[in-house]
Amino acid sequence: MELNRQPVRVRRPQDPAEPVSRIRRRAPWFDPSANTFARQSIVTAALILILLAAVTLGPIESTGAARYVVAQCGWKVGNDGTWLETAADRFSRSSWCGVPAGSDPWDGVHMTSGTRPSAAAVGGTRFAMWRWTAPPGTGIVTVNGGRWHVLRDNFQHRIGSLATGGSFSPFLEYSATDTVRREFSRSFSPPAAAFESRLLCALPADRFCSVTGTSLASVRGLTMTINDPTVPSASIDGEFRKDGWLRGVQKVDFTGADAGSGVWLSETVVDGVTRASTQQPCAVERIAGQWRGRKMQPCRTGADGSHTIDTTRISDGAHQITGCATDFAGNRACATAGELRSDNNPPSAPRSLEVAGGDDWRSGNSFALSWTNPDQGSAAPLVATRYRITGPGPYDSGVVAESGVAGLSGLSLPTAGDYRVAVWLADAAGNEDPVATADASLRFDDLDPVAFVLQPEDETPQLLRATVFDEHSGPAGGVISYRRQGGEKWWDLPTRLLGDGRQAELRADFPSDDLPPGRYDIRTRVRDHAGNEVASDRRPDGTRLVLKAPLTEETRLEARLVGPKASGRVVRVPFGATARIIGRLAGDDGQGIGGRQVVILQRPGTGLRPGPTVRLVTTRPDGGFALGLPAGTSRRITASFTGDRQNSGSSTDPLRLGVTGSISFSARPARLRTGQKVHFRGRVRPGAARQPSRGNLVAIRYFEQSSRQWRPVLVTRTDRFGNYRAGYRFRYITGVAKIRLRATLLPSQGFPYLSANSPVRSVRVQG
């Protein structure tokens, strides 16, 4: 017998009591192409469109009830119903809804209540049922589906609803077997709390229904429209709740709750625009172009999580932030959380940056800055200042943070020099741009200028000159003065400043013809652009400039050094040897000037324990003089005549006395074979000097017969006591070779001796 209109024909069970499980496997009870289900699809599609509209319209709270659709046991959707029986072990149930993927979604699909063949009878009013209960606060308004049944001996198939807190009200009752799938549809007003399919023994309680042969009641392909008036609740939380400004990507935590269909969508809305949303995991299925619930309550009643809001995509300023939740029925509720204050743009540069007191050079190491802050408008207020000072060295202070934006004070510089300060601003959101700066100069000079009076030139003896040097702010002016020796008052002369930059020269005319005869001290006072001032009456050689009025006779002082083997302005002597300085003091006419003291100033090289020494020698009647110089280190020697009432002072250029160093050397063993190591050792004597802390360099050399030259073997360094040790292996000598060796002290800037060679030592190497 053909049980339905599908093109697939199945065998009808021969025995009415055939097990339900076999019927499930054999009978495709439901035709998904039926017209009723087409109508259901249209209705459901309309409901889904209402839902989507509610989700996308923005943060508007729902004021009326919404509806959603639940599909059961069909379309490969499972069964969310509960099965109950009122006579224990008299009934059985069967449910086959979620068919495997790739198979016919309606092949054998059913939800059945049946009698057990093992039971003899079922008491009157006893029943088994499948029930689908609407979530709390909701109700079923329509139901559509397919039904069929096998009914024997007073069994009935009743389909109906339950009101909230009420009893079962059937709207369909069947007493005869009908195995053809039939469609049914029903609306409920008011909405029903549950929908049931019952298999009932329709007799009084004191009678029994026979179970000879199986009775069953089946449904499938249910579509239930559920009225959901419950509005969900929503809330959000995050850093925006704190009293501050934010920037960049911010995390927003959200929660939502709904007792009806459950939370379907969580949104974070800024100024009425959804900036982030999360569709919650729900038991739904896309059927005929619309979403249907797979369960009576498709979504969870509670949802939480977090959103990220990119504040760079909204304008700077304060914004209203809202959390919204939408349930599966389309009910939407929003809760305003407060203000989200965001700012992602750094402040612009300070305007009209000025240095208090101007940006000229100053001798005080304290600076203050002022500026005009840019208008922030609705953006985050300015809260901090950043600055960076760069200058000579090169000096870099790094970024320095200061609270407040009214100005900076108490800035100081590490040393004198011309510096630049760059200032930029930071707002309450933490935005800052080291490129958006205002710059100014900080010029600090607390160092006195360096000044010397100069010996007048022979061609212009009345022209007084003073050289001035200032490394930072540069010479700004000065005056040359004179006073009679023994007097107290200085008389300033009209003075001219020549040159600019770091070095300049002061000039004035000495009024020797207008002054009483006598000797006069000359002094200069100079100042730099920072206001530092210094007075000097010294010449570059450290002596005072004294002039005679009328102008004294010029003198000439000549000198040279005499050593054991040579004489001249530069002389070299062995370690421990003495020398002499000889010379002559004469006037402009070449006549010797006797009976005058000549100052011999010896300046030792670096590393000498005592400092400079001064000795005096008196000229002979012919103006000549001679002075013995003791053994010592290399040194510079200057002879000078300070002048007297009749003669001007004079001095020589520095003479250089070079002293060779002293180095010992030994090589052991004196006889060795090729590949064996020879050990070198020796000592550099310091004499009156200090050994350099890093020692001296010593080169070990051998004499090459073919070129008649000394060639290097190795270079070593002495310790702080002047001792050195080294070793060397002769690896490529065959036969017998006699090798001459010596050690050479290499010149060192920190050791006041010239290069020196040790005595020659020989070793015999046999290959």
Span 278-334, pLDDT tens digits: 999 999 999 989 999 999 999 999 999 999 999 999 999 999 999 999 999 999 999
Residue 51 DSSP code: H
Mean pLDDT, residues 542-551:
86
Reply yes or no on whether the pLDDT at 665 is more than 80: yes
CATH number of domain containing 611: 2.60.40.1930
Are 215 and 72 contained in the same domain?
Answer: yes
Number of structural domains found in the chain: 5
Reply yes or no on whether the pLDDT at 11 is more than 50: no
**659, 693, 722: which is the final residue of a domain?**
659
Q: What is residue 2's predicted lDDT score, i.e. its pLDDT? A: 28
Reply yes or no on whether the pLDDT at 152 is more than 90: yes
Reply yes or no on whether the pLDDT at 552 is more than 70: no
Reply yes or no on whether the pLDDT at 213 is more than 90: no
Are 177 and 152 contained in the same domain?
Answer: yes
Measure CA 550 to chain center: 75
**543, 572, 589: which is the final residue of a domain?**
543
Are 651 and 669 contained in the same domain?
Answer: no
| Residue 436 domain boundaries | 351-444
Q: What does the block give as tokens for 172?
A: 């369909």
Are 435 and 530 contained in the same domain?
Answer: no
Residue recorded with tokens 């389909």: 159
Supply the DSSP string of 151-196, one letter for each residue: --TTEEEEEEEE-TT--EEEEEEE-S-EEEEEEEEEEEEEEESEEE
Span 235-264, pLDDT tens digits: 999 888 887 899 999 999 999 999 999 999
User: What is the pLDDT of the chain when averaged over all its residues?
Assistant: 87
CATH number of domain containing 370: 2.60.40.10
Mean pLDDT, residues 350-376:
94
Are 36 and 174 contained in the same domain?
Answer: yes
Are 372 and 465 contained in the same domain?
Answer: no
Q: What is residue 14's predicted lDDT score, i.e. its pLDDT? A: 30
Q: What is residue 275's predicted lDDT score, i.e. its pLDDT? A: 93
Residue that wins the pLDDT comparison between 395 and 749: 395
Residue that wins the pLDDT comparison between 6 and 470: 470
Mean pLDDT, residues 410-425:
95
Rounded distance between C-alpha atoms, residue 255 and residue 252, angstroms: 10
Reply yes or no on whether the pLDDT at 649 is more than 50: yes
Reply yes or no on whether the pLDDT at 374 is more than 50: yes
Mean pLDDT, residues 135-141:
94
The amino acid at 278: T
Mean pLDDT, residues 45-58:
37
Question: Is the alpha carbon torsion for 261, 262, 265, 270 positive or negative?
Answer: positive
Model confidence, pTM: 0.54
Reply yes or no on whether the pLDDT at 25 is more than 50: no
Residue 664 DSSP code: -
Span 95-111, pLDDT tens digits: 999 888 888 889 999 99
Q: What is residue 501's predicted lDDT score, i.e. its pLDDT? A: 84
Reply yes or no on whether the pLDDT at 64 is more than 70: no
Span 599-636, pLDDT tens digits: 999 998 765 556 789 999 999 999 999 999 999 899 99
Q: Tell me if 566 is assigned to some domain.
A: yes
Q: What does the block give as tokens for 178?
A: 């009908």
Pairing type for strands 597-604 and 635-641 reads antiparallel
